[in-house]
Structure 1
Amino acid sequence: MLGKPPAPEDVIRVTPQDGAKGVRPGESLRVRVPDGRLESVKVVRSQDAEETEVKGRIAADGMSWRPDDDRLGLAARYVVDVVALDGDGDRSARHTTFSTLVPDKRFIGYVTPEDRSTVGTGMIVSLEFSREIADRKAVERAVRVTAQPPVEVRPHWFGNGRLDFRPEEYWKPGTRVTVALGLRDVEGAPGVYGLQQKSFSFTVGRSQTSLVDAAEHTMQVRRDGELLATVPITAGAPENTTYNGRMVVSEMLELTRMNGATVGFRKADGKGEYDIPDVPHAMRLTSSGTFLHGNYWADDEVFGHANVSHGCVGLRDVRGGASDTPAGWFFDRSLIGDVVEVVHSKDKRVAPDNGLGGWNMTWKEWTAGPVG
């Protein structure tokens, strides 16, 4: 009598085991035969209602298969179909399934700048994470920032919640920058996994930098290296001086409300030292509240002659804003990502993580390692 043929699970060994649930990402997907050889291996991953074939290769001896990417996707179902010959040359087939861990905790990175935007040459790519990152190396490896034409772009951590990228010098006009987020299923902290898998791009526009001299009460605006205009300004008063250093425009608002209480300027009764509901042509320079904005409430003779603000840089404007005022003229010619540098103010240099202030670090400091 002929012997009973071996069971498929004896001929073809698959890990994780058939029917396994909650498989953790550190486990490996493997297919092997104790003897004989594999003829075909097909693996399909179902994740986010989308099916994807998992690419892999059979070893030269025909006895094992492994995926090209060893990482298992989270919250996914895998279907494995294998055909193999056993040691006696008999064909056998096996069908197995398993599912991976559905994590309770996820993190995402909020990215600056926006997709498909055109920005100034001082733009810094910045990711603010929704949770504290413990494994910064793993997260850093999962983010790629590339440029065309090519230029070296390096990362820098500020604490455990923010990762910025910049080149050594300002971007060249016309550069196209692509940011690829491969954060999905990356374990950023114990039990906390990334959610994003996407790419976006932005374009660097013309070069414009502005130099604010707080002592001279002027701002020199340069376009492509040439002086475009010298604009009279008012900066921070002696008791509320403006930061020195290079700051990057990160937000532009035609009209906004500014209340001193939100940035620490309070009266004895707790109300703000100022509350202006309609500040025109406001351009954010720091996350702590420094703006370059239109000012319609100060006397005209202030601009170019005195510093009277609470730390912002003010340009003459009219209520509601107008394009023919210094503030309107500058706003209409500016981009998010333009650099505004302040000099000769009796204040400290702005911190590199206060807004997009990374240009205040030398390249050596930037590439040396994280801060905090």
Structure 2
Amino acid sequence: MLSLAACGGGGGKGSGDGKGKETQQGKEQSAAAVSISPKSGATGVDTSGALKVNVARGKLTEVTVKDAKGAAVPGSITGGGASWTPATHLTASTKYTVHAVAKDSEGREAAEDSTFTTLTPKNTFLGYFTPEDGSTVGVGMPFSVNFTRGITSPQAVEKAIRIRTEPAVDVEGHWFGNDRLDFRPEKYWKAGTKVTVDLNLDGVEGRDGVYGKQHKTIKFTIGRNQVSVVDAKKHTMKVTQDGKVIKTIPVTTGKPGYDTWNGQMVITEKLAVTRMNGETVGYGGEYDIKDVPHAMRLTTSGTFLHGNYWGGDAFGNYNASHGCVGLSDVRGGSDGSTPAAWMFDHSIIGDVVVVKNADDRTVSPDNGLNGWNMSWADWKK
């Protein structure tokens, strides 16, 4: 611990030569003794828990910590002026300077300065996030991060992700396993909300000896409010915007034994044409359709809202799919007037599709971005 009390007076810029130099007013040297940890010149300093500033026989009045680029580290003086601690972790492989000032009971100042460099990690992790920076998304879109390494210090990682919104709304995080963290408000986002995410993972020890190496700011905007409700018994889908039905579309959902999930599902991907193969979802060789038009993904496991050109008269009449929600379409999706084409053109990533009255359970919250199927109390646990 470096503990050389500098001379007071004249701005407190004493040389710290230990000779007890007097102030410009001829007063005794300050009794306050400032100590900074780690010691000046230290290298390989841990990014969390190592930086501390303390004072004996006095109270801290100013502590400034900056990196080589001049960016300040936030922190607070506590213990009635006895100590200062940073409010966040430090960045890895970074040189920091510390300047601390304290006063003794007579008002005489003492100052201390220090420099140190944080560790360079051998093992690192990243977070792959959605939605993309600058995007406009639907009201059901959470901010979701998938980590490249399993996290064993979830509180440290979650603390390093700050979410700000306009207008302000409480946003909470929820972990799915140890490698995925989603954030959402209690209810769907309000249309027009602007969301800013500070992903400050650089230097966070996510697991023993494994540190984040990422610092990004992501901004996205919530578009109009569109929620579509599929009734598997009535074979219809009512598309609502701002709570008003703008279109009712005949659909077909999962046939017996292949029932569609119930629950709230978020569109995570839009594909003008895609291949759907039963092998990929555990249905063997039951189907292999190479040109499914206007497909929008609802679950990771393979539930889509998509165009269907082979369904005959099923739409609005009976359920004939292998679990997807099918809308009438033409092969190749070239006809823009079909129900599927209309739905595709009027949907964005993050829109919500709610399925009800299907003969299956509610979709798992982690099967896609479908955390809306958890209560707010459970989400915050």
Q: TM-score, normalised by structure 1?
A: 0.80
| Aligned-partner Cα distance in 2 for 1:54–1:302 | 62
Within the candidate set 170, 190, 213, 2:208 is matched to 190
Which has the higher mean CA deviation after the structures are superposed, 133-142 or 348-357? 133-142
Task: Note the residue ranges of structure 2 that are not aligned, 5 or more in a row.
Answer: 1-14, 20-33, 102-110
Q: Is the 8 A contact 1:41 1:65 kept in 2?
A: no
The residue number in structure 2 matching 1:316 is 328
State the number of aligned residues: 346
What SS does structure 1 have at the residue aligned with 2:280?
helix
Identity of aligned residues (%): 53
**More off after superposition, 150-159 vs 67-76:** 67-76
What SS class does the counterpart of residue 172 from structure 2 fall into?
A: strand
**For 1:22, which of 39, 44, 48 is the aligned residue?**
44
- In the alignment, the residues of structure 1 paired with residue 372 and residue 354 of structure 2 have an alpha-carbon distance, to the nearest angstrom, of 10
Question: Compared with structure 1, are the counterparts of its residues 243 and 57 closer, same or farther at alpha carbon in structure 2 (3 Å cutoff)?
Answer: closer
**Map of 1:339 onto structure 2:** 352
2:272 matched to 1:237? Answer: no
1:108 and 1:121 mapped to 2: Cα distance? 26
Task: Find the counterpart in structure 2 of residue 328 from structure 1.
Answer: 341
2:120 corresponds to: 102
Q: Deviations over 1:133-175 (max 9, x none)?
A: 1111122222222321122222222222222122222112111
Q: Could you report, residue by residue, the CA deviation over 1:207-229 in whole angstroms, capped at 9, with x for unpaired residues?
A: 11111111221111112222112
Match runs of 1:67-216 below 5 Å:
71-78=89-96, 98-216=116-234
TM-aligned CA distance change 1:41 to 1:306, over 3 Å: closer
Q: Is the 8 A contact 2:63 2:84 kept in 1?
A: no
| 1:246–1:100 CA distance, 2 compared to 1 (3 A) | same
TM-align CA RMSD:
3.5
* 140-149 vs 345-354, greater mean Cα deviation: 140-149
Give the CA deviation at 1:298.
2.6
Shift of residue 70 of structure 1?
6.9
Q: Structure 1: which amino acid aligns with 2:348?
A: L
Any conservation in 1 of the 2:144–2:181 contact (CA below 8 Å)? Answer: yes
Q: Is the 8 A contact 1:237 1:308 kept in 2?
A: yes
Instruction: Assess if the C-alpha contact under 8 Å between 1:9 and 1:94 holds in 2.
Output: no
In the TM superposition, residue 331 of structure 1 has moved relative to its aligned partner by: 0.7
Distance 1:260 1:174, change over 3 A: same
Structure 2 length-normalised TM: 0.79
Give, in whole Å, the separation in 2 of the partners of 1:55 and 1:132: 28
The equivalent residue for 1:257 is: 275
Question: Shift of the alpha carbon at 1:95?
Answer: 8.8
- The alpha-carbon deviation at position 45 of structure 1 amounts to 2.9
Please give the secondary structure, in 1, of the residue aligned with 2:332.
Answer: coil
What is the aligned partner in structure 2 of residue 297 from structure 1? 310
For residue 318 of structure 1, what is the amino acid of its counterpart? V
C-alpha distance after superposition, 1:17-36 (max 9, x if no partner):
4543322223226598x99x
Q: What CA distance in whole angstroms lies between the structure 1 residues aligned with 2:75 and 2:183?
A: 33
